[in-house]
Amino acid sequence: MNLTQPISGVSHAQRPREYSIEVNNLVKTYDTVRAVEGVNLRVEKGQIYALLGPNGAGKTTTINILTTLVLPTSGNARVAGLDVVKQAAEVRRRIGVTFQETVLDKSLSGRVLLDVHGRLYQLPKAEIKTRTEELVKMVELEEAIDRPVKTYSGGMKRRLELARGLMTHPEVLFLDEPTLGLDPQNRDRIWVYIERLKIETGLTILVTTHYMDEAEKLADRVGIIDGGKIVAEGTPTELIGAMGADVVKVSGTGGRERFVEALQRQEWVSFVGTLQLDATTLVQDVQIGLKTQAGRSLKPIIDLAEKCEFSVVDISIKRPSLNDVFLKHTGRRLRD
Ligand SMILES: Nc1ncnc2c1ncn2[C@@H]1O[C@H](COP(=O)(O)OP(=O)(O)OP(=O)(O)O)[C@@H](O)[C@H]1O
Ligand SMILES: [Mg+2]
């Protein structure tokens, strides 16, 4: 037997996974506020991980810790294999960040801002120049790059931020709400760049967003964060798959509480969600996740509603989406 031969039979799938981000029991407390309460997550090298959560869930705090801007109260995290507290300076050299709040000085031109950023990171002059050309082309800002940033639209500012985050050839990129407030066309454009980066450079990306459709379409894994904790995690397909077969939305008036309680006792129901509507609205919604296809459940649902004196105004069936996953785990919808 030739012992120098590599061991065969170790398939690709069995190879140990390489993680670019590893977070263990991360906690951040501000006085009485527990901003992050024991977050655990792992992002495989070359993947896109979306952190999805409502206002105040702890997304920005998590990113701030991972990018070494804020110290954790307890727990630890590694980025590109380096400890974010003990090896903060090295971590900073390996990452790119774009912030939720634009931190650009708007009286300067886009080109100057990229230049300042490059110099801050001590990139050689020639490299700043070629990198600027490349990135400006990628984010399609050729026309605007020499104009003051205050003349840019929201989408253009976001694209410039993205270019800035990429100046230093990061291994890991952190994007805090890169598409917040953009119209669908501009959002799509940002995501096209993000996808291209993933494919062409093998970059690992942690992105926060409250747009479910984005996370569903583009992220390899999604972590739903609420109240400082990850409440559900998986690939979009896994998360949606765990929802059951169909979701039925029932709108009506009257005894919603009783109807919800009755539904929760049914063996064929996987979850029930209600939406918080303003007090002036009489018609209220109930979302029912079913374990089987909706067809045969419609009659029992309507019968149950009648028994609970919930008068049905409208009933519809849809395939579950990440929106329903979110509703199931947090009891709320994300802000619109
Ligand atoms: N510097 C701080 N001092 C005190 N409390 C803070 C500080 N930073 C964040 N918090 C609190 O921590 C919680 C989490 O905030 P964080 O900004 O991480 O949420 P987020 O998920 O990014 O929300 P959003 O979607 O609104 O950006 C909030 O309750 C917030 O008020
Ligand atoms: Mg935030």
The ligand that comes nearest to the alpha carbon of residue 57 is: 1
Same-domain pairing of 138 and 197: yes
Pocket test for ligand 1, best of 31, 36, 37, 59 (most atoms within 8 A of CB): 59
Q: Which residues contact 9 (CB under 8 A, 6 or more apart)?
A: none
Say how far apart CA 323 and CA 276 lie, in whole Å.
15
CB distance 80 to ligand 1 below 6 Å = no
Half-sphere exposure of residue 261: CA atoms within 13 angstroms, side-chain side = 7
Say how far apart CA 246 and CA 107 lie, in whole Å.
52
Query: For position 261, which CATH number holds?
Result: 3.30.70.260
The ligand that comes nearest to the alpha carbon of residue 30 is: 1
In a domain, 8, yes or no: no
Same-domain pairing of 25 and 126: yes
Structure tokens at 153: 């639209």
Contact 242, 85 (CB under 8 A): no
The ligand that comes nearest to the alpha carbon of residue 32 is: 1
Number of domains making up the chain: 2
Same-domain pairing of 186 and 218: yes
Residue-level pLDDT at 15 = 63
Which of 219, 240, 261 is the C-terminal boundary of a domain?
240
Residue-level pLDDT at 2 = 45
Same-domain pairing of 154 and 270: no
Which of 190, 223, 240 is the C-terminal boundary of a domain?
240
Closest CA to ligand 1's atom 3: 30
In a domain, 229, yes or no: yes
In a domain, 187, yes or no: yes
Residue-level pLDDT at 6 = 45
CB distance 61 to ligand 1 below 6 Å = yes
Same-domain pairing of 183 and 253: no
Pocket test for ligand 1, best of 30, 100, 229 (most atoms within 8 A of CB): 30
CB distance 32 to ligand 1 below 6 Å = no
Query: For position 69, which CATH number holds?
Result: 3.40.50.300
pLDDT per residue, tens digit, the chain (336 aa), is 444 444 444 455 566 679 999 999 999 999 989 999 999 999 999 999 999 988 899 999 999 999 999 999 999 999 999 999 999 999 999 999 988 776 667 899 999 999 999 998 889 999 999 999 999 998 899 999 999 999 998 889 989 999 999 998 999 999 999 888 888 888 888 888 888 888 888 899 999 988 888 888 889 999 999 999 999 999 988 888 877 778 898 999 888 899 999 999 998 888 888 876 656 667 888 888 888 776 777 888 999 999 999 999 899 888 778 887 888 788 776 654
Which of 217, 240, 263 is the C-terminal boundary of a domain?
240
Closest to 174 measured CA to CA, from 300, 64, 39, 17: 64
Residue-level pLDDT at 9 = 46
Same-domain pairing of 46 and 146: yes
In a domain, 286, yes or no: yes
Say how far apart CA 81 and CA 102 lie, in whole Å.
28
Say how far apart CA 109 and CA 130 lie, in whole Å.
17
Contact 322, 216 (CB under 8 A): yes
Contact 65, 77 (CB under 8 A): yes
CB distance 57 to ligand 1 below 6 Å = yes
Same-domain pairing of 220 and 121: yes
Atom of ligand 1 minimally distant from the CA of 177: 27
Say how far apart CA 49 and CA 44 lie, in whole Å.
9
Say how far apart CA 293 and CA 330 lie, in whole Å.
24
The domain containing residue 293 runs over which residues? 244-319
Structure tokens at 150: 């205050």
- Contacts of the segment 81-88: beta carbons below 8 A, 24+ positions apart: 81/20
Same-domain pairing of 97 and 151: yes
Residue-level pLDDT at 281 = 67
Scan for tokens 């410039």, then name that residue. 160
Closest to 317 measured CA to CA, from 250, 270, 261, 243: 250
Same-domain pairing of 93 and 44: yes
- Contacts of the segment 275-279: beta carbons below 8 A, 24+ positions apart: 275/327, 275/333, 276/332, 276/333
Same-domain pairing of 184 and 109: yes
CB distance 35 to ligand 1 below 6 Å = yes
Same-domain pairing of 145 and 249: no
SS3 45: coil
Same-domain pairing of 279 and 216: no
In a domain, 325, yes or no: no
Say how far apart CA 182 and CA 158 lie, in whole Å.
9
Residue-level pLDDT at 12 = 53
